[in-house]
Structure 1
Amino acid sequence: MTGTLEDRLTELEVRLAFVDDTMNVLNDTVAAHEQQLLEMRLAMDRLRSELVAMRGSLTQDARDEPPPPHY
């Protein structure tokens, strides 16, 4: 093995610092994705509710509507 024990320890500390930084960045990314996912789920629920409401208004029988003016 090359280098002194102190050099090797310094190298390990530097690598650990990079690993810690990478973990923090990944943690922030996961947290941001979780927030976006929550927002998307809420939007999907709102859209689903609107769709159900629209379906209710569209299920009226076409025979109940007056004929178009060209008849």
Structure 2
Amino acid sequence: MAGHSENPMQTTNAMARLEARLADMEMRITFQDDLMNTLSDQIANQQQTIQRLFDLNRILREQFENLQDPQSPDMAIEPPPPHY
């Protein structure tokens, strides 16, 4: 069996290409991790905002229902208008 000798220059180039690919992949992973953390923070902030809006909507709805309730204490105190 004849020996197959590799050119040291080819081996060096192949290693350099692998190292460059590895460095590129590490940078991409770092960027993706940062992006995921940023998106996670934004989602948490949006969830807090949505919760505050739901709470405010509930409060406003309750206040509106109280204004329309003819049996509310404020309406019972007020005398009827003079044209009745």
The TM-score with structure 1 as length reference comes to 0.77
DSSP 3-state at the match of 2:82: coil
- The counterpart of 2:82, out of the listed 61, 66, 71, is 66
- The counterpart of 1:37, out of the listed 50, 53, 56, is 50
Deviations 1:29-64 (Å, cap 9, x if unpaired)? 00000000000000000000000000115xx7xxx4
Q: CA deviation at 1:14?
A: 0.2
1:54 is matched by which residue type in structure 2? L
The TM-score with structure 2 as length reference comes to 0.66
Give the total of aligned pairs: 61
Q: Report the equivalent of 1:47.
A: 60
Identity level (%): 30
Question: Which runs of at least 4 in structure 1 moved beyond 6 Å after TM superposition?
Answer: none
Structure 2 Cα separation of the partners of residues 5 and 18 of structure 1: 20
2:29 is matched by which residue type in structure 1? L
User: Which one has the largest radius of gyration?
Assistant: 2
Q: Report the equivalent of 2:4.
A: none
Residue 11 (str. 1) matches residue 24 (str. 2):
yes
- Computed over aligned residues only, the root mean square deviation of the Cα atoms, in angstroms, reads 1.8
* Structure 2 stretches lacking a partner, 5+ long: 1-13
